[in-house]
Amino acid sequence: MLAAPAAAAVSALVPTPAQVTVAIQESEAEHLRQLEQTDPAAAERARSPFAAALVASIKAYTVKGCLPPSGGEIVCIVGVQAGRREGFRALAFRDNPEPWVLARRETPAVNGPDAAQATALMREFLRNELKEGLSGEHATELTALSSSLVIKQLNDCEVSRGSGNLACDAVVSMGGEPDKRVTGFAFALERSGWRFVPRTADQSR
């Protein structure tokens, strides 16, 4: 029997957008100080009016959620605006958030649900669809999938800039058929844990 989706897939420690903004600004200031020591020419370019204005405009406007601490880091999915551009990204913070400080500037990997959790989430979604009163061939197909579909592996997962959901490719097995590679699986990180999102509701990466 598949385990139910675990709420422990998320962290109780979640920064506010204001705290994320401060962490990013301080990280950029520290990066500039390092450039002054290692690459004065790059530091001079970073102090140009355009570059300085762009850094000053960085502002986090939402936090979708954070994963449990791992390897000394807490990875969060946040919405960030810089100039006229905005979108979601993953950020890695130190796991002792007093205050919240970025652990590194590089984009961290986001560990989504494992195969068993993803299967349980997908089956839960299908069962909820059936509660909408579907009938006929479509209902028969969903009923079969809600008990036979198995997600064996999630690959190439990345955070969608448009939605903040984790978009993945998947290897699935359905009712004894040969394994099939399916693109466009997506999972939303919420305060209660991961939630499966149908492809029609999340088309952007």
The amino acid present at 146, given as its one-letter code, is S
Per the confidence metrics, is the pTM higher than 0.85? Answer: no
Q: If you search the block for the tokens 């705290």, which residue do you land on? A: 19
Token pair belonging to 130? 């059936």
Q: Where are the domains of the chain?
A: 7-94, 115-201
Give Cβ neighbours of residue 202 (< 8 Å, ≥ 6 apart).
160, 163, 165, 167, 184, 186, 188
Give residue 195's pLDDT: 92
Q: Tens of pLDDT along 66-106? A: 999 999 999 999 999 998 899 999 999 999 888 999 999 89
Give the 3-state DSSP-derived string for 23-47, with helices as H, strands as E and coil as C. Answer: HHHHHHHHHHHHHHHHCHHHHHHHC
Question: What is the mean predicted confidence (pLDDT) over 26-38?
Answer: 89
Question: What is the mean predicted confidence (pLDDT) over 184-194?
Answer: 88
Q: Which residue has the higher pLDDT, 22 or 36?
A: 22
Q: Tens of pLDDT along 34-55? A: 888 898 888 888 888 888 888 8
Q: On the CB side of 137, how many CA atoms lie within 13 Å of its CA? A: 0
- The residue among 13, 139, 21 whose CA lies nearest residue 70 is 13
